[in-house]
Amino acid sequence: MSDTAQTDIGLFPVSYLIGNDLAGAPTLLLNLLVAPPTHSVTGSAHIVNQSLHPPLNLHSHVHGQYAYLGVVPTNEGRILISAQGHNGNTTNFKLHLVLSHDWKKGIANYSYLDGSKWVEVDNVPAKLNPELKSRYFPLPLEPGPVILPNPPIMALYGVPIQSAIASGDLAHMKTLAAYAKQQLDAQPQLRKELDALKAEITKLDRK
C-alpha cells in the first residue's frame, strides 16, 4: 500500500519475529503501532534467549521513525525503521530494520543492554508474526490499516495503552495519548481507553 493511502486512513499495527533460529541465538518479538501522518512508530520489544544462564528476558518500550528508501510509491523501494527503546529511564534497545515495500519481511540490526554491556545482533531476518492479536479484536495477519464496518479502533490502541500505563513512563503515555486524540472524533469507541490514559497521566503529573 502506498504511503499516501496509509496516511489517508491512519494508524495500523505490525508485529515481527526477528531471529535466525540458530542454537543459542536470541529471538526478538517486535510489536509496533505505525502512524503514517507523522512517519513514527511506537510499541514494544521483547528479547528472549533461553540458552543463557540466567535466560535473557528483556522488555523495552519502543519509539522511533520510519522513512522510505527510494521513490514512493514503488515495488522496488524499501522502508527503514530506526527506533530505540527503554525500560523506565534507561535506554536498553536500539534498532535499524529495513523492510520490503509491503512491510512483510526484512533484515534487522539491533542491540540491547545486558546488565552493563551492549550486545550487538546484526543482519538477522525479520518476518511477520502470525500471532498478532488484540485483546479487543483479532487483527488481520497482513500489515496495513484495519478497514472494517464500524471498526473497533480499541483494537489498535488497547494493548499499547495498557502497556504504557503499566510501564509508568509518562513520556510514552503522552505520545500514545496524542496519537489517540487524532482519531477520537471519528472513532468514539476510543473514548474509554483515552480517558483511562489521561487519568493516569494526570496522576503522574501531580507526583
Enumerate the domain spans of the chain. 3-128
pLDDT value at 159 more than 70: no
- Distance CA(32)–CA(104), nearest Å, equals 13
**CATH 1.10.10 at 3-128, yes or no:** no
Average pLDDT over residues 22-29: 89
Question: How far is Cα 33 from Cα 175, in angstroms, rounded to an integer?
Answer: 12
Residues forming beta bridges with residue 142, ordered by sequence position: none
Taking the model in full, what pTM does it have?
A: 0.63
For the cut 70, the answer to whether the pLDDT of residue 31 exceeds it is yes
State the pLDDT confidence band at 129, using cuts at 50, 70 and 90. confident
Q: What is the four-CA torsion angle of 83, 38, 200, 194, rounded to 10 degrees? A: -130
**How many Å apart are CA 49 and CA 66, to the nearest integer?**
27
In the predicted structure, residue 17 carries a pLDDT above the cut 90: yes
pLDDT above 60: residue 70: yes
Cell triple for residue 18?
A: 526477528
The whole-chain average pLDDT of the chain stands at 75
